Amino acid sequence: MTSYLFSIIFGIIIGFASAVPIGPVGLVCIQRTILKNRSAGLISGMGSVLADGIFASIGAFGITIIIDFISKEHAFFRIAGAIILIILGIFSYRSKPKPHEAKEDTAITKVEYFISGFVLTITNPLTAIFFLLAFANSGTKIDSYGIASTLVIGVMIGACIWWLFLTYIAEFFGHIIHGETLNTISKWFGIIIFASGSFILLKAIYDLLLLK
């Protein structure tokens, strides 16, 4: 029983720590929360949580074949994520936000939010390696499916806690910002997201050229 308790606590800490760095998904999550609503940002974050859960499963269950494949095709995964970021950056820059309108997102829009958060995270295979190393140095012997499953659940809980916190903060500041300032923020988010995607794309292409 003690092993399971330690595993879920450790998983929560690792899941929270892995989500905290403000990367591409964090930028998209903040932008959608401020410019649309908290639900939009949170759903994007939940897509990332699912991807974290998959990567944590790979690390906890030690699926070496998948890890080897992800490591080998690392550049292609990064290119796919970079292209999505570039597209999101362009749309963000060109959009004219009206966040204070009482407008509900459609089911299709919510699915798009979730998928984008998932894809942006799943195309960063270094996350799988992070979880693998974290679990290997956890001091917990992962000798059963129960322990491994508990770690994965903990990771997803920890990641959820971060996205709940981040969207709360973003929503708080979103209600303070109005008018032209909001439009300026939208454009700056678009520029940053586009620049992030461009950098990742160039880096991935450079890595591919080095392998040749």
- What pLDDT was estimated at residue 102? 47
Count: domains in the chain: 1
Distance CA 146, CA 143 (A): 8
**Domain assignment of residue 158, given as a range:** 2-211
Largest CA distance in the chain: 57
List per-residue pLDDT tens for the chain, 212 residues long. 677 788 888 889 888 988 887 778 888 888 888 888 889 899 999 999 999 998 888 877 766 566 666 666 667 777 877 887 788 778 777 766 554 454 567 778 889 899 988 988 888 777 777 777 777 666 566 656 777 888 889 999 999 999 999 999 888 887 776 656 666 776 777 788 788 778 878 877 877 777 65
Report residue 123: phi and psi, to 5°. -85, 10
- Residue 28 near residue 119 (C-beta atoms within 8 A): no
Q: What's this model's pTM, rounded to 2 decimal places?
A: 0.75
- What pLDDT was estimated at residue 137? 65
- Residue 16 near residue 130 (C-beta atoms within 8 A): no
Q: Which residues contact 182 (CB under 8 A, 6 or more apart)?
A: 34, 35, 97, 99
Look up residue 9 and give its amino acid.
I
- What pLDDT was estimated at residue 72? 66
Q: At what angle do helices 2-19 and 145-176 cross, to 10 degrees?
A: 40
- What pLDDT was estimated at residue 44? 92
